[in-house]
Amino acid sequence: MGGNRIVVYKEPGRVEVEDHDMPKLEVPADVAQAKGMSREAPHAVILKNVSTNICGSDQHMVRGRTTAPPGQTLGHEITGEIIEKGDDVQFLDVGDIVTVPFNIACGRCRNCREGATGICVNVNPARAGSAYGYVDMGGWEGGQADYVMVPFADFNLMKFPDRDQALAKIRDLTMLSDIFPTGYHGAVSAGVTTGMTVYVAGAGPVGLAAAYSAHLLGAAVVIVGDLNKERLEQARSFGCETVDIGQSATLEEQIDQILRTNEVDCAVDAVGFEATGHGGGEEKPAQVLNDIMSITRAGGSLGIPGLYVTGDPGAADPDAKEGTLKVRLGLGWAKSHSFVTGQCPVLRYNRKLMMAILHDKAHIADAVNATVIPLEDAPRGYQEFDRGAARKYVLDPHGMIPAA
């Protein structure tokens, strides 16, 4: 049948755009069987994707650093127009433009009812928490595509109030599916508020979103650390201080040059498990976690939106291959640090951040250097992103994103 182009992981370092069947109003067979759920999904909608983004989390799979099999469909950052809906979708209509949280949530389980939509227990047979187009996340088809199915639509989807306004601001609004709420969650989890000093490890899109969010929350100084000079320049473009962890000066020494103290009030890890040691070189997956404990004051908090996995076939040692890292927990205990990890519960934040965008209080697309490319250019986007481009690649499957 065909009719739905979708980005697919083929082997480490290679993705392709393939023609797949159009999505149906059905949940994956494994989810339905394991959870005693009907395969038919009258609670679902089909979206024509307006925009769908490439994420650093996708890159972990494409590098071969997860257990993702060849053929894994990709994409969990989705904004789209409803073109079909099930009989049980009551509060959304065909033609609505909506943002899709990357977390798939049923809206019915205890965790969803308590606002922890990143760890819904009904949408993934393997573990709590699910997402579109991601390994071990329930088998839901990816959203880097022309069309995608979204279940439990009334609960998961947020409609934009005005279609024309949404399309005009789509470069910013497309970030609501993941990186803006995720970065904001990292900053909130770290306790950022007025007058605080903040260190953000990593100047990729999530790190930049966390740094931008720290400014929104009133931080006095936001310091971003990375090895990539182009990405550090992007952080400086919206008022961040930066440290180059490739320099001979230590992280503490560089922070002291900025603050006249080698400690910050709080910190955010936006790197995750593919971290390297100071100065680059060999991989040290616990490096960032240990760094942020070292430089955060006693009593401070650590937000950890960076991805850590339970299966990493490319890890340097057997422990790290199953997510066991050499974290200096004793140091964190001695300093009474608070840690917050895991998927961001996007629904907790996306309406507030939408309002900030619509009323010109937030310009997240500029902060992360949003760069629009056609869906068929996704392989190029992955290659350039993997080489460290200081860009957030936004795929435009149907040519609906207005020219900048």
β-strand pairing of 221-226 with 241-244: parallel
Question: Which CATH superfamily includes the segment(s) 180-341?
Answer: NAD(P)-binding Rossmann-like Domain (3.40.50.720)
In which band, very low, low, confident or very high, does the pLDDT at 277 lie, cut at 50, 70 and 90? confident
Instruction: Render pLDDT for 203-226 as a digit per residue (tens, 0 to 9).
Output: 999 999 999 999 999 999 999 999
Q: How confident is the model at residue 267 (pLDDT cuts 50, 70, 90)?
A: very high
Q: Kindly indicate the confidence band of residue 42, based on its pLDDT and cuts at 50, 70 and 90.
A: very high
- In the chain, where the domains are located: 3-178+345-396, 180-341
> Taking 80 as the threshold, does the pLDDT of residue 1 lie above it?
no
pLDDT digits over 301-310, tens only?
999 999 999 9
Model pTM? 0.97
Percent of the chain whose predicted confidence (pLDDT) is above 70:
100
DSSP β-bridge partners for residue 16: 8
Measure the CA–CA gap between 377 and 80, rounded to whole angstroms.
Answer: 19
Q: Does domain 3-178+345-396 have CATH number 3.90.180.10?
A: yes
Residue 146: CB partners within 8 Å, gap ≥ 6?
3, 4, 5, 6, 48, 49, 375, 397, 398
The Cα–Cα gap between 163 and 141 comes to: 26
Region 152-176 average pLDDT: 98
Residue 93: its pLDDT value, please?
98
Give 110's pLDDT tier (boundaries 50, 70, 90). Answer: very high
- Average per-residue pLDDT for the chain: 96
What pLDDT, in 10s, does the model give residues 59-105?
Answer: 999 999 999 999 999 999 999 999 999 999 999 999 999 999 999 99
